[in-house]
């Protein structure tokens, strides 16, 4: 399965202002590494807040905004309503690498200064520097 990552909107806004990431259309680039991701609007569901059971089984999941809209969800800032259920959510972007990690390493050539063996290593290093 292809690696995917959720970029919370608040973090992304900060990183754009600081010049740590660039956005162009539906593509996000981590500036220091040159790693690119195709992005789509997404929602991370944190918890159901009415006390009802999670009949839609979405708590803890990250899905595209389109997916939730097709379920009839109403999303406003950090809340979402689907039928009788209300959820606390984080909005943001779901990213998938535009190439495999091996292709990325090959294309970076000698410019890849620190050893990262996986996308997870690369993202962990980025997050440790920027959170």
**pLDDT per residue over 34-93, tens digit each?**
889 999 999 999 999 999 999 999 999 999 999 999 999 999 999 999 999 999 999 999
Give this prediction's pTM.
0.83
3-state secondary structure of 128: helix
Q: How confident is the model at residue 1 (pLDDT cuts 50, 70, 90)?
A: very low
Return the ∠ at Cα 58 (arms to 54 and 64), rounded to 5°. Answer: 150
Number of domains forming the structure of the chain: 1
| pLDDT over 70 at 19, yes or no | yes
3-state secondary structure of 104: helix
- In terms of residue numbers, what domain contains 75? 5-130
Residues 6 or more apart whose CB falls under 8 angstroms from that of 119 comprise 3, 35, 97, 101
| Bridge partners of residue 36, in order along the sequence | 29
Residue 43 burial (10 A CB sphere; 0-12, 13-18, 19+)? buried
H/E element, 88: strand 85-97
| pLDDT at 2 (0 to 100) | 67
| pLDDT at 3 (0 to 100) | 76
The tokens describing 129, both together, are: 């520097």
Task: Provide the greatest CA pair distance for the chain.
Answer: 55
| pLDDT at 33 (0 to 100) | 83
């Amino acid at each position: 399965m292809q690696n995917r990552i959720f970029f919370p909107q608040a973090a992304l806004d900060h990183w754009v202002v600081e010049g740590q990431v660039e956005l162009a259309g539906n593509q996000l680039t981590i500036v220091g590494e040159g790693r690119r991701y195709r992005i789509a609007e997404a929602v991370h569901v944190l918890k159901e807040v009415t006390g009802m059971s999670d009949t839609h089984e979405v708590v803890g999941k990250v899905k595209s905004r389109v997916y939730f809209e097709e379920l009839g969800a109403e999303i406003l800032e950090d809340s979402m309503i689907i039928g009788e259920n209300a959820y606390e959510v984080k909005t943001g972007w779901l990213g998938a690498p535009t190439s495999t990690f091996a292709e990325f390493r090959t294309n970076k050539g000698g410019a890849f200064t620190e050893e990262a063996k996986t996308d997870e290593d690369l993202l962990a290093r980025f997050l440790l520097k920027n959170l």
